């Protein structure tokens, strides 16, 4: 191996003199060049941003994946730059067990048929959870990790260089001070003072240049905050969509269970009758809607995308405007939506009613 002995000795000497300067500063035996207040404020802000980003990232990972072993597996796959195998969610696994139990215990029995209904909805909940986890990982977790592993490391590297340049500057200041003291006692030639002054100028230039580089990087934290703000809004929107889907599925499940427990038409509410009728005959919904008296119509803005689960419902696209109204006896969590010639039930939680 080819060693550059002179360079190695020089680097060791520089490290030693920096260590001495740093120790003397801590002991109050040497002067220290202070950074300007603006740069100090930027450094404090960057440290706070890094600290809170790490905490938010860690806790979000715990929220999305409570299983520590699974988080370790995800971390390993991420470091190996490999795609994590698709993992069945707990709700999907529960739904699958319920369906298998119904098959084994008898799908025609009341218990077996209810297991099938609940199992199917558990699988839907699991699918919604899977989509939420994927969206959150790509729109929120990944940008936070990229900041910590990219910009933060670059800033830390430049700050270390700035600290070294500051130490070098203070070392040169101390040498010049000693040289002038020795010159005053006629114990040192003026050439040594000139040399010390030249080294100080060089050190000052390098320090100023590194301070400017560090300052520019630290001022970029403002852009980081804006980016994290957008990511946070995306995360909140993904959460809202996920919980709205879960709420919708559970309402549907309750209606399904209510119908199985009360199959008699006389005991079925008019809102459930609309759903039952539409499931048996899709065209019957439109007929019944035209026959029932309509309350006041109004405009509504769609908040999230919604995929219709059967022909009685109307699929929605986020930000579009539709006309909505209700009919007597209809479930209060649903409205009738119209878009052109299309008509169907729409969940209220996906809408913003306009005056």
pLDDT tens for 68-79 read: 776 566 656 566
CA 79 to chain centre: 18
Write the pLDDT tens digit of every residue in 87-134: 788 899 999 999 999 999 998 899 999 999 999 999 999 999 989 998
Q: Token match 């002054």: residue?
A: 197
Q: Report yes or no: 167 and 18 within 8 Å, Cβ to Cβ.
A: yes
More confident residue, 2 or 88: 88
Distances from the Cα of 344 to the Cα of 273, 292, 322, 327, 335, angstroms: 15, 14, 11, 12, 8
Q: What confidence score (pLDDT) does residue 45 get? A: 96
CA-to-CA dists, residue 213 to 21, 33, 164, 209, 217, angstroms = 24, 18, 14, 6, 6
- Tens-digit pLDDT profile for residues 218-262: 999 999 999 999 999 999 999 999 999 999 999 989 988 887 776
Domains of the chain: 31-261 (1.20.1270.60), 298-353 (2.30.30.40)
Q: How far apart are CA 317 and CA 323, in angstroms?
A: 14
Is residue 73 a contact partner of residue 84, using CB atoms and an 8 Å limit?
A: yes
pLDDT band at 32 (very low <50, low <70, confident <90, very high): confident
pLDDT for 186 beyond 70: no
Rounded CA separation 191/183 (Å): 10
Cα separation of 323 and 339, whole Å?
7
Tokens of 17: 């003199």
Rg (CA), the chain: 34
Stated as kind and residue range, the H or E segment containing 353 is strand 351-353
């Amino acid at each position: 191996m080819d060693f550059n002995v002179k360079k190695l000795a020089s680097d060791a000497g520089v490290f030693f003199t920096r260590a001495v300067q740093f120790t003397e500063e801590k002991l109050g035996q040497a002067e220290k060049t202070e950074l300007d207040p603006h740069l100090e404020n930027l450094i404090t802000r960057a440290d706070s941003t890094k600290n809170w980003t790490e905490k938010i990232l860690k806790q979000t990972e715990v929220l999305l994946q409570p299983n520590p072993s699974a988080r370790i597996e995800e971390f390993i796959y991420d470091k190996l730059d490999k795609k994590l195998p698709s993992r069945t969610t707990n709700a999907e696994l529960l739904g699958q067990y319920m369906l298998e139990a119904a098959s084994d215990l008898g799908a025609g029995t009341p218990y077996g048929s209810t297991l099938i209904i609940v199992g199917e909805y558990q699988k839907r909940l699991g699918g919604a959870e899977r989509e939420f986890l994927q969206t959150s990982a790509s729109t929120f977790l990944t940008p936070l990790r990229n900041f910590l592993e990219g910009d933060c490391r670059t800033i830390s590297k430049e700050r270390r260089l700035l600290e070294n340049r500051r130490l070098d500057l203070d070392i040169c200041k101390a040498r010049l001070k000693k040289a002038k003291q020795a010159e005053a006692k006629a114990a040192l030639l003026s050439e040594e003072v000139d040399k010390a002054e030249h080294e100080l100028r060089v050190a000052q230039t390098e320090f100023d240049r590194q301070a400017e580089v560090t300052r520019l990087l630290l001022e970029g934290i403002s852009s980081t905050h804006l980016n994290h703000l957008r990511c946070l809004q995306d995360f909140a929107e993904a959460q809202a969509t996920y919980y709205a889907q879960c709420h919708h599925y559970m309402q549907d499940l309750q209606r399904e269970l209510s119908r199985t427990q009360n199959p008699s038409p006389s005991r079925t509410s008019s809102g459930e009758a609309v759903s039952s009728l539409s499931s048996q005959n899709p065209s019957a919904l439109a007929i019944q809607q035209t026959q029932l008296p309509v309350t006041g119509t109004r405009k509504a803005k769609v908040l999230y995308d919604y995929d219709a689960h059967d022909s009685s419902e109307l699929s929605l696209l986020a930000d579009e405007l539709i006309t909505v109204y209700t009919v007597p006896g209809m479930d209060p969590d649903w409205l009738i939506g119209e878009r052109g010639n299309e008509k169907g039930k729409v969940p209220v939680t996906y809408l913003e009613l306009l005056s």
